Structure formats: structure tokens, C-alpha cells
Amino acid sequence: MYAKFFRLSLALCWALACGAAQAVPEIKTWVTTNGARVYFAQTEGLPLVDIRVLFDAGSARDGDKFGLATLTSTLLDSGAADLDADAIAQRLEGVGAVLSTGASRDSASVSLRSLTQPELLRTALAVTKAILLQPRFAEQDFERDKKRTLLAIQQREEGPDDVGGILFFETLYGNHPYAHPKEGNADTVAKLTRDDLVGFFKQHYVARNARVIIVGDLKWSQAEGIADELVGSMPEGNVPPTLAPVEPAPTGKTVRRNFASEQTHVFAGQIGMRMGDPDFFPLYVGNHILGGSGFASRVVKEIREKRGLSYSAYSYFFPFRQSGPFMMGLQTRNDQAAQALEVLQQTLRDFIAKGPTDEELTASKKNITGGYVLKLDSNSKLTEQIASIAFYDLPLDWLNTYIPRVEAVTKADIQRVFQARIHPDALQTIVVGAGQREQ
Amino acid sequence: MSLSRIALWFAAIPIAVHGAETKVHEFRLDNGLKVLIQEDHRAPVAVSQVWYKVGSSYEYGGITGVSHMLEHMMFKGTKKHPAGEFSRIIAANGGSENAFTGQDYTAYFQTLERSRLPVSFELEADRMRNLQLSPTEFSKEQQVVIEERRMRTDDQPHAKMEEHFQAVAFTNSPYQNPVIGWPDDIAGLTVADLNAWYGLWYAPNNATLVVVGDVDPKATFELAKRHFGPLKTSQLPPLKARAEVEQFGQRRMTAKIPAKLPYLVLGYKVPALKTLADPSEAYALEVAAGILDGGNSARFSSRLIRGQQLAASASAGYDLYSRMSTLFTLEGTPVEGKSLAELEAAFYREVAQLRDEPVTADELARVKAQVMASKIYQRDSIFYQAMQLGLAETVGLSWKVVDEYVDRIGQVTPEQIQQVARKYLTEDHSTVAHLDPQPLPEGAQVSDESTGNGGHHVR
């Protein structure tokens, strides 16, 4: 199926919640006796529940063992307590439950969706508890999943998009733990051992390092019982040390990689902002106008609508625990890459020099505030938003104060923060495609 | 910790399904527009989708991709709302919007706060009959689509191979053509081609309006009548049958493409729900795909990935809601040290077992339990609900098949699965494709001038 406009999955930027006085369910939060913080919101209308357990155990915690956090997360549902992978899957799927594990740069997650009918939910919870507390990390499972990871790492080299994306992060972050891809690299993954995984699990999958999010058609008392069952007997443990702040590169750099593709992929950006940044709203609303709102944005108008240079073109902030990237990008046929990059840079320079127009700011605010209800209109979307609040310790009224804070942003705010923080002449630029001379 | 108290509870699932009952309100305007409305009051939001019965399977040689190109141009303005206005108005109303084209449909949608629904209706009704195709906008958008093709297909080893696979598998069915179109066809499209295509298919009597959300069915129908009611009916062209001819013997192809990993696709010619006199066969094929690939406990994960450690990935697919007969596909990547031939042999063993032995009661119960639960999970998305109704209606089934789905899956027996496997998953009706990865060559040096000749799809 082909869509008019390809929105990168990242582009939806799940962390950027919208909120208002209406339709935001109450979020209750408490701490289990062993130190895990729980967030609960009750929803009605469907007999289902979404449960997510998040740990500060993403690839930023790999140390020099790149890929460790991801492989640890991958192995969780391959065997736990007296259940092997088949038994785990059979029990969950037998009650129609869906479980997944995953890691990002900041976090590792175990997510469960289940029906709320008690005997079905009971089975799903028992299996999830085993996965959270007693994963086996069996040698045979470890070897198999390591090999599969190594193949996936090879596959990244098949296309200019993955190659460019990895180069972008490496260039932007240098020696910071955000620099390497979360799957790791071939040489670092090859060296991982089962003991590495067991050690990482023991250190990071602990109560004080956990956030539990429960959203669904349940009562508070039921949610309390679920949290206790899932993490109540987890060791207390400790939170890992604070991640180092990111040092922005003082000067711009362009990295070119020759790749035998039809298109050249261009990424340009710099260090952006972290979750909870005081400039969050002016940066977010400003970027919405610059390149974050599809056809309404300047980047798409200049690159695609006026010139037909690229199918997808965008600019985004990805706030992490520490500063995430500000990133612009496009793809175009090889001989147009220089022209397209120039238009992209010029669009950014103009925006920073002159700021948005009154009409642009009004239109953007209308879009963000008028579309607020769409960001919370399902159980799964609500779970995403609350997970973001929980993991990044955002204030509990985050969703309720969102609209007024968007409304409060002025043209001068946007121009001020963009001029202070975004430097078009110091961008890190990655160009991957046919005819690029390596530098 | 003891897990002994865990019983297998799948027998209990049907009780929960009662929470999943929905009611679809069906109307038809005098000009032929079908209107389907389903209430969902969980959030003050509504999705509106307009589905047209046209897509790549309606196209013929030389103009492949015209449906998809027209979808792009549908955002380029009418007399009343010039280029860019559609997206600007929807955005100003806090809406999200897009469109998509498939083999059997072209669909446009907006998701909005419920009180903004009239905005969506007004704009969709306007462009259903009043599109203005400007040559300047067209020539730019044609370049955008060519870039889209480069991104989605030309630079993607799997997509490139699958495009050739479809072309080899189908002799005369229009499913042999890619939705986005062949490169020269896209480059050769003209404004006249698009105008003709628009004139043929964009009319209320060839469309279905689907609304799901926090709406009142009667008031929404009245609103639809006000906006879409005045539109003129078209004389639709009679649809040519174009059914795929019988295949006599297995077809094999190799795609030597620069890539890192090998890949295997095996496809069997199978009927779709729409093409069958006995619909139970389609549901049996659907369950067969679930037995192989319905989750982590299914046979592919359990046996090929974990047990025999042959595959790094393996999947099975069947498109029940195709308009024409389709393919039952098995796809996968072998692990390092195993060959495509070994994975292919493993796929044949799995197919043979489907033919020769009844699936176990536990396996069948798990597939059914997942189907029943997912019916409830799907209701968490108003978009997905609307999608199902629009799709079923547009391929010429009724939206009622969406409601029947869980019951029909529930009726499938082990014997029926064996019967469809014997009847359809046969070597003589199969096509096999191997992606034989070639070393990634150095990128050729191209001129950095914007007037250079690097893109060979450009005329």
C-alpha cells in the first residue's frame, strides 16, 4: 500500500504529548514497597489492558559492550522459570495475550496487552512475571539470538538509509553512549557472552530502576494487585548513575559515503534537546512550522511541493534523557543531492533569521491544539503518553497543561530559542549515495 | 516460583468476545454513494474515509501506476479549493489526513475532533467530482512519485525482488504489476491519462464513505447527504474479468541483486474470499497461515527459527480480502551456514505436513483464541475499524464479512485445513524466488550538477 506522504515512524515523535483540560483521564501513581513507581489510568469501553514495565536499561547503558542491552531484552521471552520459549508463547497466545520486549537508547521495555477477563489475565500476568523475574538466558537461546542479531547487523549495510542514520548518530555523539546503534556492531556483538547478559539483567532489571504503566478497564485496587504481582518480589537494586550530558560539536562537518544506490540520503542536524528542557514548547512549536507537520511545514513545501526533489522531507527534535538530536533529512536522486541539501540549509537559515510569520504560528497552534484529542483517543496511545511521563519523570499534569503552554508560545520565543540553540553553519551533515567522495 | 496453576484457558475466550459487538449503520444515497457508519464513543473523535473502487488491478499495460499518481494529484486542488488548500484546512482544524492506494482500492481519510466532520465531508465531496489537474503541479508530482519509487523499491533488495516475483507468478492477472507502477510507465504518464482515469472512476456510485467514531448515525447520514448528495452519478465502465489462467508447473526465478543476505519467497496460487463459491475455503487458508506464522508459538517460530535453527526469519501470508485470486506466500531468510535450498526444503516439509496430517486441537485453539482477542484489540483503533469496513466493501464483498470473521474462523476444522492444503498448496501452482545477494559495488561517480543524468527513470 502506498501513501501520499511517508511519515517516518520516528516522525510521529511519541514523546511529544498533547493535552488539555478535557478528556484526559486521571493518572494515579504510587511506589511499591520495594521501590518501583507505578502509573495507572482507568479506561472504559473495551475489556482490555495495556501494561508496560520500563527500565533505565537501554543501549546507553551498554558500556563498551555495544548491543548488550538489546540482546538482553531480546532473550527475555526465550525462556523463564520452568517455561521454555514454546511454553511461554503457547500460554500467552492461548489466552490471546500479546507480549513484546524491546530496547531503545534510553529504555528497555516489557509490554503486555491482555483481555481483562480474570482467568485470561491471570495466565498472561503469571507468564509476564516469570519473564520479568526469572529469565533463563539459556546458552542455546543466547547463541541463536546472537547469530540472528549479527545477520540483522549485516542487513543494515544493504541500504543508504540505515548506513546514513548510523553515521549520523556516530558523528553527532562521538564518544557519548548515544553514539552507537542499539543493536551494536558486528565486532562488539560477536564478543558478548551469556554472562554479560545475566550480569546486565541483574543490575538493571530491578525495582528501583523500574516504571510500571497500567492502562485499561480495571479498578485501582486491581491495578495495585497487578503491580505487586509483577514487580513486588523484584530485588530493590539501584538506579544506574546519571548519564553524562552531551557535549555539542563546536564546528560543522560533512561526512560523505559512496553507496551504489539510486538515491542519495541526506541527514543534517546537531544536538537538540532533552526531555523536560525549559525551551521544549518554543522548540517544538517552531519545528512544527519548520519541518514537523508534513505538508503544512516549510521543509516539505520547499523540497517537495515547490521543487519535487524528494518524497519525504522533514525536521524533528527527538528528546532523550540527555540531549537528543535535532535532525533534518530527505532522499533524492543522486545528481540532485547537492541542490536538495542547499535548499534544506537555506530553509533552515531563513527560518532562524526571520522566524515564523503570524499566519504560520496561528496555523500551527490550531493544528496542535485542535488535534490534541487525536493523541489520546485509544488505549494504546494513552499508554504511550503515560509511559513517556513515567519514564522521564514529567509532571503528572503534563497532559492537562500542554495546550495552554503551546498557546503561550510567541514568535519572539521561537526566534530566540532557535537563534540561541540551532546553528546552521555548524551542522553535522551525512550524505550517502552514488558518487559521493569519501572524506 | 510455580507456574503449575496455569491452565490453558483458550476455551474461555468466547465469553469475552461479547464485549466486541458493534453495529454498522448502512445507507445509500440516490446517486449511489454507499455510507457506512459505526459508533465508538470512547473519545470525542471521528475518522472519515472515502474508498474508491480503483487501484492497480484496474490498470492495463503502459499506464501502470496511474491510480497511485492520481491519488497524489487529488491534493492538488479544485476550482473552489486551489492546490495546498485541502491540507491547509484540515491542518487548521487539528486533523490528520492522508491517502493510500492498493491493488484493489484508492482511499482518502481524515481523523478529526468530532465537530469538524463537516469540514472533511465538504472537501472530499468537492474533490470527488471537481479535481483540476494542472500540468505544472503534475510535472513536479511526477518527480516526487519517481523518488518514492526509488526509495521504496529500487533501493530495497526485498521490494525489488518481490516486484519481479509477482510479475513471474502471474501470467495475465493485473496483480502482476506493482501498485506504484513500472518506471517507464510512471515517467510516461500524462495529465490526459490522469484526467481520463479520474473521469472513469471518481464518482459517488463507485465510492464508499466510512465514518467511525463519536457520531450520531442519523445526523451523520444527513450530513453526508447534504455534501455528497448533489454529486452526479457516472456511467461506470464494465469491469473486465482478467482472471489468472491456470498454471502448468512450478516457476522459478533468481534475482541477483546487490545485498547482504539471501531471501526466499514461495507463493501458491489460491482463491480469495471474493472468488470462491464456498467461502469456508478462504477461512481455512487463513487459519493455515496462522498455524504456520500466527505468533511465537506457531510452527515457523517454534520449528524453523528455534527448533531446527534453519531460518533467521520466516513468515506466511494470505490476503483473504483480495478482489481476485491471490497468493499464499511463505518467505524467509536462512541463518548463516544454511542455504536457500535448505530453507525451501523446510517450507515444503511444512506444507506437506499441512496436507498429510490434521493440525492438533491445541494449535487450532490457539489460532482461534488469538483471532478472537485481536477482534477486541482492533476496536482500540477507530481507523482500523473503518479500514476493515471500507476494504471489504470496496473489493465487492459486504462489510458484513468483517462481522462474520470471528465466527467463520471459529468454524474451521482440521480436516478443512488439510483439504485446502491438498487442493491449493501444490507444486505445480507455485512460484519460487531466490534473492542471490551480489557484492555491493562501488557507487558510480555522477555529476553533482542538478541537470545531470544520474536518474535513468527520468525521460
CA gap B265, B275 in Å, rounded: 24
Q: Are residues B212 and B94 in the same domain?
A: yes
Tell me the three cell numbers of residue B181: 507502477
Instruction: Please tell me whether residue A354 adopts helix, strand or coil conformation.
Output: helix
- The pLDDT, as a whole number, for residue A23 is 62
**B195 and B312 share one domain:** no
- Of the given ranges (A277-286, A430-439, B248-257, B365-374), which has the lowest mean pLDDT? A430-439
Residues in chain A: 439
B73 domain residue, yes or no: yes
Q: Is the pTM of this model over 0.90?
A: yes
Q: Clarify whether residues B164 and B203 are in a common domain.
A: yes
Distance CA A366, CA A358 (A): 12
The per-residue pLDDT for A438 is 66
Q: Does A373 touch chain B (CB under 8 A)?
A: yes
- A98 backbone dihedrals φ, ψ, rounded to 5°: -125, 120
Report pLDDT for A14: 30
Position B239 in a domain:
no
Instruction: Tell me the pLDDT tens digit for each residue of A393-427.
Output: 999 999 999 999 999 999 999 999 999 999 999 99
Task: Give B112's contacts in chain A (Cβ within 8 Å).
Answer: 374
Tell whether A198 is within 8 A of chain B (Cβ): no
Rounded CA-CA distance B50/B108 in Å is 5
Considering its fold, how many domains does chain A have in total?
Answer: 2
Could you tell me which of B42, B126, B32, B31 has the C-alpha nearest to residue B76? B126
**Helix, strand or coil, per DSSP, at residue B48:** strand
Domain membership of residue B342 (yes or no) is yes
Q: Please provide the DSSP assignment of B271-295 as one string.
A: --GGG-SSTHHHHHHHHHHHHHHSS
Q: Does A258 touch chain B (CB under 8 A)?
A: yes
Residues of A in contact with B145 (CB under 8 A): 311
Task: Mark whether A160 and A288 lie in a shared domain.
Answer: no
CA B397 from centre of chain: 15
Q: Are residues A74 and A215 in the same domain?
A: yes
Q: Provide the pLDDT confidence category of residue A250 given band limits of 50, 70 and 90.
A: confident
Residue type, B122: E
For residues A40 and A139, membership in a common domain is answered with: yes
Asked if residue B310 and residue B221 are part of one domain, the reply reads no
Q: Are strands A79-80 and A83-84 parallel, antiparallel or unpaired?
A: antiparallel
Task: Note if B71 is an active site residue.
Answer: yes
- For residue B25, the model assigns a pLDDT of 98
Residue A73 lies in a domain: yes
- Residues of chain A with Cβ-Cβ distance to B366 below 8 Å are 90, 93-94
Of B93, B151, B297, the CB nearest to A90: B297
- Residues B311-363: pLDDT tens digits? 999 999 999 999 999 999 999 999 999 999 999 999 999 999 999 999 999 99
How many CB atoms within 10 Å of residue A255?
Answer: 18
pLDDT confidence band for B21 (50 / 70 / 90): low
Examine the domain organization and report whether B189 and B304 are in the same domain.
Answer: no
Residues A265 and A220 in one domain: no
Task: Catalogue the E-assigned strands of A310-361.
Answer: 313-317, 325-333
Instruction: Compare all CA atoms of chain A with the CA of B73 and give the residue at the minimum distance.
Output: A4
Using the beta-carbon criterion (under 8 Å), do A371 and B72 form an inter-chain contact?
Answer: no
Same domain, A180 and A323: no
**Per the domain annotation, does A400 fall within a domain?**
yes
Cα separation, A417 vs B22, in Å, equals 49
The pLDDT value recorded for residue B266 is 98
pLDDT digits (tens, 9 = 90+) for B414-426: 999 999 999 999 9
Q: Give mean pLDDT, residues B116-139.
A: 98
Q: Does B445 touch chain A (CB under 8 A)?
A: yes
Query: Mean pLDDT across the stretch A21-29?
Result: 78
Does B258 touch chain A if contact means CB atoms closer than 8 Å?
Answer: yes
Same domain, A189 and A97: yes
Q: Quote the DSSP letter at residue A232.
A: T
**Same-domain check for residues B255 and B404:** yes
Q: Return the residue matching grid coordinates 564546528.
A: A251
Tell whether A7 is covered by a domain: no
B458 in a domain, yes or no?
no
Q: Select the residue of B16, B143, B147 nearest A47 (Cβ to Cβ).
A: B16
Number of domains composing chain B: 2
Residue A211 lies in a domain: yes
The answer to the question of residue B40 being in a domain is: yes
Q: Which residues contact A235 (CB under 8 A, 6 or more apart)?
A: A34, A202, A206, A207
Catalytic residue (choose from B21, B39, B59, B71): B71
The confidence band for A34, taking pLDDT boundaries of 50, 70 and 90, is very high
For residue B99, being part of any structural domain is answered with yes
Whether B205 and B272 map to the same domain: the answer is: no
Residue A33 to residues A38, A128, A372, B106, Cα–Cα distance (Å): 11, 20, 36, 55
Q: What is the mean pLDDT of chain B?
A: 92
Is residue A27 within 8 A of residue A40, CB to CB? The reply is yes
Average pLDDT over residues A113-117: 98
Is position A318 within any domain?
yes
Section B78-89 average pLDDT: 96
Q: Is residue A344 pLDDT above 90, yes or no? A: yes
Burial of B40 per CB tally in 10 Å (0-12, 13-18, 19+): buried
How far does the CA of residue A263 sit from the closest CA of chain B (Å)? Answer: 7
- Give the integer Cα–Cα distance in Å for B207 and A280: 44
Closest CA to B255 of B427, B432, B441: B432
pLDDT of residue A165: 98
Query: What digits encode the pLDDT tens for the residues B134-155?
Result: 999 999 999 999 999 999 999 9
Q: In whole angstroms, what is the distance from residue B415 CA to residue B30 CA?
A: 46
Angle between helices A139-155 and A194-204 (to 10 degrees): 90
Task: Return the amino acid letter for B153.
Answer: T
Segment B250-257 shows an average pLDDT of: 98
Region B392-410: what's the mean pLDDT? 96
More confidently predicted of A23 and A356 = A356
Buried b (16+ CB within 10 A) or exposed e, B148-179: bbbbbbbbbbbebbbbbbbebbbeebbbbbbb
Spatial separation of the C-alpha atoms in residues B379 and B21, rounded to whole Å? 10
Distance from B447 to chain A by nearest Cα, in Å?
A: 6
Question: In B, residues 2-41, which contact A (CB 8 Å cutoff)?
Answer: 2-3, 5-10, 12-13, 15-16, 19, 40-41
Phi and psi at A174, nearest 5°, equal: 55, -110
B369 contact residues in A (CB cutoff 8 A): 93-96
CA dist A268 and A345 (Å) reads 9
Confidence at residue B444, expressed as pLDDT on a 0 to 100 scale:
52
Of chain A, the percentage scoring pLDDT greater than 90 comes to: 92
Q: Residue A18's pLDDT is what?
A: 33
User: Per the domain annotation, does A11 fall within a domain?
Assistant: no
Q: Read off the C-alpha cell for A122.
A: 491471570
Task: Write out pLDDT tens, residues B282-310.
Answer: 999 999 999 999 999 999 999 999 999 99
Confidence of residue B203 (pLDDT cuts 50, 70, 90): very high
Strand partners, B313: B333
* Angstroms from B30 CA to nearest CA on chain A: 31
Task: Give me the CATH number covering residue B317.
Answer: 3.30.830.10
Q: What's the pLDDT at B24? A: 97
Say yes or no: A149 and A117 in one domain. Answer: yes
Answer yes or no: is B389 within a domain. Answer: yes
Cβ within 8 Å, pair B295-A93 = yes
DSSP E strand boundaries for B201-291: 207-213, 251-258, 263-270
CB nearest B10 (choices: A95, A262, A294): A95
Single-letter amino acid code for the residue at B261: L
- Residues in A closer than 8 angstroms to B64, CB to CB, are none
pLDDT, mean of residues B48-54? 98
Q: What is the largest CA-CA distance in chain B?
A: 71
The answer to the question of residue A408 being in a domain is: yes
Residue with cell 526465478: B253
Q: Residues A112, A168: one domain?
A: yes
Please check the confidence at residue A5 and state whether its pLDDT lies above 60. Answer: no
What DSSP designation does A264 have?
E
List alpha helices for A193-328, DSSP H.
194-204, 220-231, 280-287, 298-300
Domain membership flag for residue A324 = yes
Residue B153 and residue B259 share a domain: no
Q: What is the mean pLDDT of residues B37-58?
A: 97
Asked whether residue B301 falls in the same domain as residue B158, the answer is no
What lies within 8 Å, CB to CB, of B160 at 6+ separation is B153, B154, B255, B257
B330 and B206 in a common domain: no
Contact state of B443 with A129 under an 8 Å Cβ cutoff: no
**pLDDT at A439 (0 to 100):** 56
- Check whether B450 has a pLDDT greater than 90: no
- In this structure, are A224 and A258 located in the same domain? no
The pLDDT-based confidence of B448 (bands split at 50, 70, 90) is: very low
Q: Are residues A126 and A48 in the same domain?
A: yes
Is the per-residue pLDDT at A9 higher than 50? no
Q: Which helix (H) or strand (E) holds B341?
A: helix B340-356
Are residues A159 and A296 both part of a single domain?
A: no
Pairing of strands A28-31, B430-438: unpaired
Is residue B9's pLDDT more than 60?
no
Does B381 sit within 8 Å of A127, measured CB to CB? no
Q: Using 50, 70 and 90 to split pLDDT, how confident is the model at B443?
A: low
The domain that contains A354 carries what CATH number? 3.30.830.10
- 3-state SS assignment for residue B169: helix
Per-residue pLDDT band for A437 (boundaries 50, 70, 90) equals confident
- Cβ A89 vs Cβ B296: under 8 Å: yes
Q: Which domain holds residue A383?
A: 253-433
Give me the domain span that covers residue B191: 23-228
> CB of B94 within 8 A of CB of A372?
yes
Both A209 and A266 in one domain: the answer is no
- Greater model confidence, B325 or B1: B325
The residues that bridge with A268 in the sheet, in sequence order, are A328, A429
Average pLDDT over residues B367-380: 96
